[in-house]
Amino acid sequence: MTVEELLRPRFEVIADYPESPYPVGEIIERTGKTTFFEKYPAIFKPLPWWSHRKIEDMPEYVKYQYHNDSPIIFKSEKWDMGMPNQVSAMFNRSWYYTPYISPATLSDYTTFTEKK
């Protein structure tokens, strides 16, 4: 998946309402600029970019930034999605955890490694 696809807003249906076209548990990807789902957080739970993804959907390149530290961009060696509400990416035998990681591109990685 591309970075743009991974960062597209998604919502999980967590409650039913009369004549709802969405079953509870469905993942909805927002298209366009609609704000319908944002207006009803008791029905549509916003999902982080990594939530409810398969390992094969995870990005090859990752940006890690802890608070105000300078970011690092690396090629993920392995993904761990076994912890509830969290995923982690391995680089140089160290694990980097959400929410401090986000998808990056090959171009981001190349630029970062050339600056080092």
Q: Give every residue of the chain whose pLDDT is below 70, as ranges.
A: 116
**CA nearest neighbour of 111 among 67, 71, 68:** 71
The per-residue pLDDT for 79 is: 95
pLDDT one-digit tens code per residue, 95-112: 999 889 999 999 999 999
Query: Cβ(20)–Cβ(35) under 8 Å?
Result: no
The per-residue pLDDT for 59 is: 96
Sequence-ordered list of residues with C-beta below 8 angstroms from that of 87, at least 6 positions apart, any chain = 50, 53, 58, 79, 80, 81, 97, 98, 101
Count Cα atoms within 13 angstroms, Cβ side, for 80.
Answer: 14
Question: pTM (2 decimals)?
Answer: 0.84
